[in-house]
Amino acid sequence: MAYVPQDLLDRINALEREVRTLRGRAQIRPAMNQVLNGDVVIGEGGRLLVRDPDGDAVFETGQAESGDWFVTMRRDTGDPAISVGANAYPGDTAVKQMIRVFNRDGLVIMMDDYYADGYLGRPYVPIPMSPGVPFTADTETSVYSGHMVVQHKVLNVNALLSAPAGTTARVRLTLNNNEIGAWTINSATTQTEINERIPLSPTEFPHSTSPVAVLWAQRTAGTGTCTLRLRGLWGLNTITESEAN
């Protein structure tokens, strides 16, 4: 038998131990429920979904079939609760990325505006208006006034203007003395319903500015007493692209 140095045998035994150790470690899978360092990247059309036992995705993020990148959180019924994106869920026809919060009936209760960038869509915000003097003068008189903060692109005014037969009157709505709406009642009509959407100019009244809103009224003919009943003045979201311009 050939002579084999003892130190060489020791080295071979050590190598065998290392091979067995490496072979054993290769059979051990790393933990799949933790990310201890680095990023988890989802791209190229991929999505991350968290499903409840019924199969409903209560959390989704990634790229939708429409190409939009989105984040959606749902209730365990499958109904949307919070959404960031456009065309992010069935029935969604948003043309731009939107942030939306839904109630349990699936209706949007908070969102940014559909068309107008930089404006609030919902909730609708009422403009507090205080009554002034009675509307009995032949000269123009301020009958309602209030201080508002512009948050919506559209201002909605709802009021009822009434006058006796044979009497005419005119009502104007101004913001910082700039007329944005006017309505009249003629001698053959005793009541005029005012319910109008008024898109605000983004250059004159950008978001977060605080103009003074005033409703002016004037009896223009006749001798009867006219009445203006203000039912509400509040901000709304746009419903057409033209209202955003």
* CATH number of 185's domain: 2.60.120.260
| Residue 4: inside a domain | no
d(CA 16, CA 22): 10
pLDDT of the residue at 5? 60
| Residue 148: inside a domain | yes
Rg (CA), the chain: 34
d(CA 210, CA 200): 13
Strand blocks (E) in 86-148: 98-102, 108-112, 120-122, 125-126, 130-131, 141-147
Which of 112, 147, 166 delimits the end of a domain?
Answer: 112
| Residue 224: inside a domain | yes
The residues that bridge with 131 in the sheet, in sequence order, are 144
pLDDT of the residue at 201? 94
d(CA 52, CA 197): 43
Say if residue 132 is exposed, middle or buried (CB neighbours under 10 Å; 0-12, 13-18, 19+).
middle
In the block, residue with structure tokens 């009936």: 105
Distance of CA 69 to the CA centre of its chain: 17
| Residue 55: inside a domain | yes
State the pairing for strand pair 108-112/120-122.
Answer: antiparallel
d(CA 155, CA 237): 9
What confidence category does residue 84 fall into, taking pLDDT thresholds of 50, 70 and 90? Answer: very high
How many domains does the chain divide into?
2
DSSP for 24-82 reads HHHTSPPPSS---SS-----TT-EEEEE-TTS-EEEEEEE-TTS-EEEEEE-TTS-EEE
Q: Give the range with max mean pLDDT: 41-45, 69-73, 179-183.
A: 179-183
pLDDT of the residue at 179? 96
| Residue 166: inside a domain | yes
Q: Give the range with max mean pLDDT: 27-41, 92-106, 202-216.
A: 202-216
d(CA 161, CA 184): 8
What confidence category does residue 28 fall into, taking pLDDT thresholds of 50, 70 and 90? Answer: low
Judgement on whether residues 202 and 141 belong to the same structural domain of the protein: yes
The whole-model pTM stands at: 0.74
The pLDDT tens digits of the residues spanning 86-139 come to 876 667 777 788 999 999 988 899 999 989 999 999 999 999 888 765 566 678
Judgement on whether residues 187 and 226 belong to the same structural domain of the protein: yes
Judgement on whether residues 94 and 160 belong to the same structural domain of the protein: no
pLDDT of the residue at 135? 62
Residue 103 belongs to domain spanning: 47-112
Judgement on whether residues 139 and 180 belong to the same structural domain of the protein: yes
What confidence category does residue 189 fall into, taking pLDDT thresholds of 50, 70 and 90? Answer: confident
| Residue 8: inside a domain | no
